[in-house]
Structure 1
Amino acid sequence: MKRVLLSLFALASFGLANAQIKEKGTVEITPKIGVSSFAEFSNRDNTNYNSGVELGATVDYYFNNRWSLRSGLIADKMGSRIEDAGNVYEDELKYLSIPVNANWHFGSTRKWNLNFGLSPSFLTSSTFIENGNKTTIPESAIESFQLGLTYGIGYKIGINDKFGILIDAQFFSGMTNINKATQERITNNGYSLNVGGVIQL
């Protein structure tokens, strides 16, 4: 246990020692991978959460040492999962999102960040799965575009002047109705936990 505590202390000290206060015009790119969990919310009921893999990359442009603009491309599996009387039903909705977030870097070493903004998302595939059997959801049943509110928190571990490791949690709250088939309003809502490599250009 003592060795574990010493190792954690050394890692934290290493991150602090490599703290870099960013100047205006600094650009960072962060390829990342994570685990996501989404559900469909409606005015009648909410479905179970549906897990998947999140892949993508974000870019931060710094205006000063506290604020940056973050955007990028994120691939997510959204949709829903329902288990009823031994049957499993799943809407597997795959989206490509382009978040546009203000990113506030805080703490004495600016290692923490809070980001918030909007995320337009474009449907790339939609599949209905019933007990393992897949069928394509017709375009007439689901909107190809959605807009969501996005926000999150992260922590960056500095490795050297040009590279770090980001650990963050991101949240998505759908603002637009994805349902074209009926009058019921349905939105995608969920979150992801990610790890990425921060590369300063």
Structure 2
Amino acid sequence: MKKILLSIVAILAFSFANAQSREKGAIELIPQIGYSSANYYGEESLDSNTLSGVSFGVGADYFFNDRWSLRSGLHYQTMGAKGSGGYEEKLNYITLPANANWHFGSTRKWNLNFGPSFSFLMKAENNFGDIKDQANTFQLGLAYGIGYKIEVNDKFSILIDLQGISGLTDVPKDSDFTIKNAYSSINVGGVFKL
């Protein structure tokens, strides 16, 4: 009886450990939503506070092997900052990341991703109205993040991750000093293996 139970436990453990392994060419789609925080940074001390918002989008992972994938997708993100006296600047971007994604841990449930992100300005406003003509319409950024997958079954998991972007290009078209976006979000998403 003891041998039978040990055999069943070993089979289940082996199945569970290998259920999430991804082979070359596997694709995962990840619709997700999150809570975001953004601010400006630059060469001068900026008197700004964090701007909170909601982010959402669809990510995708293309696997080269069980450890590495290419993560991309389309994400709607609000960046900008709050200033003193209730002043606010909100910049809405559609962002396309192109990140190397390293899957680690004994069951590859953890991932660490990094790479460039390409953001396209959709809307820019402050308390006084539209400021899109004063802002650069493209932002190059450095994206990075870490996440963990909770397996539900072989075809579906839940992903919880923390993502960040450091803007490498200036926000305004013309300025006497550097103003760039700093962005982070905590997200939850469904992982669908195709």
**Both structures adopt the same fold (TM-score exceeding 0.5):** yes
Matches within 5 A, 1:168-179: 168-179=161-172
State the partner residue of 2:138: 145
Instruction: Check conservation: 1:18, 1:158, Cα contact below 8 A.
Output: no
1:126 aligns with 2:124: yes
- Distance verdict in 2 for CA 1:138–1:99, change over 3 Å: closer
State the partner residue of 1:196: 189
Instruction: Check conservation: 1:19, 1:110, Cα contact below 8 A.
Output: no
Distance 1:170 1:21 in 2: 23
State the partner residue of 2:70: 69
Matches within 5 A, 1:77-116: 77-83=78-84, 87-116=85-114
- Structure 1 position 183, deviation (Å): 2.1
CA-based RMSD of the aligned residues comes to 1.4
Distance 1:97 1:64 in 2: 26
Distance 2:192 2:146 in 1: 19
- Bigger Rg over Cα: 2
State the partner residue of 1:3: none
Distance 2:60 2:140 in 1: 20
1:42 aligns with 2:36: no
Instruction: Check conservation: 2:17, 2:107, Cα contact below 8 A.
Output: no
Instruction: Check conservation: 1:78, 1:95, Cα contact below 8 A.
Output: yes
Instruction: Check conservation: 1:18, 1:159, Cα contact below 8 A.
Output: no
- Structure 1 position 138, deviation (Å): 4.4
Instruction: Check conservation: 1:33, 1:56, Cα contact below 8 A.
Output: yes
- Structure 1 position 169, deviation (Å): 0.0
Structure 1 unaligned runs (5+)?
Answer: 1-12
Structure 2 unaligned runs (5+)?
Answer: 1-12
- TM-score of the superposed pair, with normalisation by structure 2: 0.89
Q: Work out the percentage of aligned pairs sharing the same amino acid.
A: 52
Distance 2:167 2:186 in 1: 18
Structure 1, 183-192 or 149-158: larger mean CA deviation: 183-192
Distance 1:69 1:149 in 2: 15
Instruction: Check conservation: 1:75, 1:97, Cα contact below 8 A.
Output: yes
Distance 2:29 2:78 in 1: 23
- Distance verdict in 2 for CA 1:104–1:17, change over 3 Å: closer
Distance 1:185 1:17 in 2: 48
Distance 2:62 2:166 in 1: 24
- Structure 1 position 182, deviation (Å): 2.1
State the partner residue of 1:135: 129
- Displacement over 2 Å in runs of 4+: 16-19
- TM-score of the superposed pair, with normalisation by structure 1: 0.86
- Distance verdict in 2 for CA 1:137–1:110, change over 3 Å: same
- The Cα offsets for residues 53-76 of structure 1, whole Å up to 9 and x where unpaired, read as 001010000000000001000100
From 177, 181, 193, give the equivalent of 1:184: 177
Distance 1:45 1:95 in 2: 25
